[in-house]
Amino acid sequence: MKNPDNEHKKPSRFWWLPGTVSAVISAARLAYEFVRDHYHLNGR
C-alpha cells in the first residue's frame, strides 16, 4: 500500500535550487551594480 505522504514529501533533487537561485540573483545584482558604476566612472 502506497504512503500518501510520500507523494508530497519526495526527497527532492532540487533542494539546492532556492538557495542557488537567490545566491545567483544577489551575485548578478552585485555584478550589475559594479559594472554600471565602473562604466559610469570610465565614461566621464
Residue 16 main-chain phi, psi, to 5 deg: -85, -10
List average pLDDT for each run of 10 residues in the chain, which is 44 residues long.
61 87 98 92 72
Which of left, alpha, beta for 26 (phi over 0: left; psi -120 to 50: alpha)? alpha
Residue 9 main-chain phi, psi, to 5 deg: -115, 55
Please give the pLDDT value at position 17. Answer: 93
Total-model pTM: 0.52
**b/e map of 15-35 (b: 16 or more CB within 10 Å)?**
eeeeeeeeeeeeeeeeeeeee
